[in-house]
Amino acid sequence: MPSPPLFTALHVVQPGDGGVARVVADVAAAQVSSGMRVAVACPPGTELAAAARAHGAEVHPWRAGREPGRGLVAESLRVARLVDAVRPDLVHAHSAKAGLAARLAVRGRVPTVYQPHAWSFEAVGGPAAALARRWERWAARWTDRVICVSDAERRRGEGAGVRAAWSVVHNGVDTARFAGAADRAAARAALGLPAADPLVVCVARLCRQKGQDDLLRAWDAVRRRVPAARLALVGDGPEAGALRAAADGSVLFAGAVADPAPWYRAADLAVLPSRWEGLALAPLEAMAAGRPVVVTDVDGARESLPPGQEPYCLVRPGDPEALAGALAALLQRPVLRAELGRRAQRHVRERFDVRRAGAAIADVALG
């Protein structure tokens, strides 16, 4: 008697790099391990395409831009053709652009899960934000479940009038990989960094969302209090040129890296001054490496920090003065910084392990 066909999940993803890509790669690995057939449609030649293939998923090229535009109709048609070819039991769309194209293509014909990874209406203002909220409310009729990466993200969707079946699955990281060898001096030597200078590291795409412009506005004040401090911006993106023009010689632009773990190990302190998020991965990675992290009070930030660290590590978004104060205060208190890092590492190991997150999303898909 022939065995029944495997349950098939098709992930439709844009972007194919950064935090979203790492989340999808981890989910694909967990689903393959659980015995599912997994297909990933994403832009070709990206980090996600390589990682998903390495985990045993089928990878289908899906050429799509990050933003809605004239190519949307063609992009949605390409999703429809992929659905016909793959014949999935479930379509799982990740981020706003894929959520738009995939739900227009499928329109409820196949069970559909949508994971916003931060709501589209937070990225824009005025009429564009109102239009994005209206779309999310409308598209909920073609969505069997919305998976949010934080309770705050779910509440924001509910507040925008999105009526859906909700699940909250916090992002997770490979805690063992980021913990690794915690020798700061060895990490700095390998990266060619000064051995003794206080180092703040920001790992993120260089774009408006991640707030590196606010970080540079804060940096002069940090340097006045900690003159030897250095800042490393790890990543690349559309704001790279403007940020370079605004930075002084104490700021290092490391570019995009395949593995940010050595940068966390080299750091005294990590920072992510985002304007909006769902639940960012970079702070979890930094904490898994045993480094405290200063974050802005956006969706997911309070849920990611260990209890009691908010007074030291949480600041208002868009407030360079508060950001400078938090960074300088921690750079000047090495004993406190070390203790916060130890607690953060334990917290992430207990609550944000990637295997738990991947298994939880696999359960949602099969349930």
Q: Residue 164 domain-assigned? A: yes
Cα dist from 224 to 176, 179, 232, 328, 352, whole Å? 37, 32, 17, 9, 36
Q: 152-158, long-range: CB within 8 Å, 24+ apart, which pairs?
A: 152/279, 152/299, 152/300, 152/302, 152/303, 153/116, 153/118, 153/119, 153/278, 153/279, 153/299, 153/300, 156/119, 156/122, 156/299, 157/116, 157/119
pLDDT of residue 24: 94
Residues 197 and 284 in one domain: yes
Omega within 30 of 0 (cis) for the link into 15: yes
Residues 19 and 117 in one domain: yes
Count how many residues are written for the chain.
367
Residue 354 has pLDDT above 70, yes or no: yes
Residues 183 and 332 in one domain: yes
Residues 70 and 134 in one domain: yes
| Tens digit of each residue's pLDDT (9 = 90 or more) over 314-331 | 999 999 999 999 999 999
Q: Residue 80 domain-assigned? A: yes
Report the candidate in 71, 21, 27 with the shortest Cα–Cα distance to residue 42. 21
Single-letter residue type at 7: F
Domain with 339 in it: 175-351
Residues 198 and 303 in one domain: yes
Q: Residue 2 domain-assigned? A: no
What is the distance between the alpha carbons of residues 331 and 242, in angstroms, rounded to a whole number?
A: 27
Q: Residue 26 domain-assigned? A: yes
Q: Residue 153 domain-assigned? A: yes
**Residue 19 CB neighbours (<10 A):** 23
Residues 119 and 190 in one domain: no
Mean pLDDT estimate for the chain? 94
Model confidence at 2, pLDDT cuts 50, 70, 90, reads low
CATH number, position 130? 3.40.50.2000
Report the candidate in 85, 156, 84 with the shortest Cα–Cα distance to residue 117. 156
Please compute the mean of the pLDDT values over residues 66-76 and round it to a whole number.
88
Residues 77 and 146 in one domain: yes
Residue 359 has pLDDT above 90, yes or no: no
Residues 74 and 134 in one domain: yes
| Tens digit of each residue's pLDDT (9 = 90 or more) over 283-307 | 999 999 999 999 999 999 999 999 9
Question: Is the separation of the CB atoms in 209 and 275 below 8 Å?
Answer: yes
Model confidence at 13, pLDDT cuts 50, 70, 90, reads very high
**Residue 80 CB neighbours (<10 A):** 16
| Tens digit of each residue's pLDDT (9 = 90 or more) over 129-184 | 999 999 999 999 999 999 999 999 999 999 999 999 999 999 999 998 898 656 89
Residues 144 and 193 in one domain: no
Residue 86 has pLDDT above 90, yes or no: yes
Question: Is the separation of the CB atoms in 148 and 157 below 8 Å?
Answer: yes
What is the DSSP secondary structure assignment for residue 3, as one 8-state letter?
P
| Tens digit of each residue's pLDDT (9 = 90 or more) over 114-140 | 999 999 999 888 999 999 999 999 999
Q: Residue 86 domain-assigned? A: yes
Report the candidate in 231, 236, 311, 307 with the shortest Cα–Cα distance to residue 271. 231
What is the distance between the alpha carbons of residues 208 and 318, in angstroms, rounded to a whole number?
A: 11
| Tens digit of each residue's pLDDT (9 = 90 or more) over 93-104 | 999 999 999 999
What is the distance between the alpha carbons of residues 295 and 273, in angstroms, rounded to a whole number?
A: 6
Count: domains in the chain: 2
Q: Residue 1 domain-assigned? A: no
Residues 230 and 253 in one domain: yes
Q: Residue 296 domain-assigned? A: yes
Residue that the structure tokens 């304007």 belong to: 275
Single-letter residue type at 24: V
Residues 76 and 198 in one domain: no
